[in-house]
Amino acid sequence: MESLHYYSLRKAAAILQEPEEKVLDYIRTGRLKAQFLTNIMDYIITHEDLMKFLKDKKDFGTIRRVLSHRVILVDRDLKIQDVVKLDLGRKNVQVRIATTDREVQLLIDEFLPDAVAVNLGATMRSVDPIKGAIAKAKAARRAVILYHNMIEDTFKDKAELHAHIQTLQPDAVVGIARGLAPLLDAIRKAVGVK
């Protein structure tokens, strides 16, 4: 997959934690592949070229720091948004928030998430239910996690609800009625973070 991420000479120097002159030497000697753009009068380095350079240099600490996992959270509850962002942010996971089906579909294209976590209630809305985005995430081989804050005993029509969940084909379904820990664990497992 072609990278959409580019770094300027200054940003690459900040990532490598070296002076810009040293990064220019890497470019001139051919160790770091870069392209000079005359319209901005600066070098640009693709994400893949920077990663290849770091692998050749055997700088795995910087690679670990640069690479981060991405998750889209579909929920209107600000408390859930804050807790998920705070907890996963500590694990170097970027979290983007979306509330509409169109937003989620755009973020899947632009943000390239590892997982999409969707509140079950958002898939059952009468206006703009989150369904097309889930299908798009599944087609793009992204993990889809459904979560709900209902206790199973309170479901009025269990068979209908389970049929609805089966049509969405999520990778995991978790309940958060007793806390967000199951959701956070499911997201961590989906993106490969402990």
| Res. 4: pLDDT tops 60 | no
DSSP 180: S
- Is residue 46 very low, low, confident or very high in pLDDT (cuts 50, 70, 90)? confident
Structural domain boundaries in the chain: 6-66, 69-191
Say whether domain 6-66 belongs to CATH 1.10.150. Answer: no
- The answer to whether the Cα torsion of 9, 15, 18, 23 is positive or negative is negative
In angstroms, the CA 123 to CA 134 distance is 9
pLDDT digits (tens, 9 = 90+) for 72-121: 999 999 999 999 999 998 887 889 999 999 999 998 887 778 899 999 98
pLDDT at 91: 83
Distance CA 165, CA 70 (A): 24
Of the candidate ranges 12-16, 70-74, 77-81, 120-124, the one whose mean pLDDT is the lowest:
12-16
Per-residue pLDDT tens over the stretch 151-184: 665 556 778 888 888 999 999 999 998 899 999 9
- Contact 149/142 with Cβ under 8 angstroms? no
| pTM of the shown model | 0.66
Number of residues that this document lists for the chain: 194
Superfamily of domain 69-191: Response regulator (3.40.50.2300)
pLDDT at 145: 94
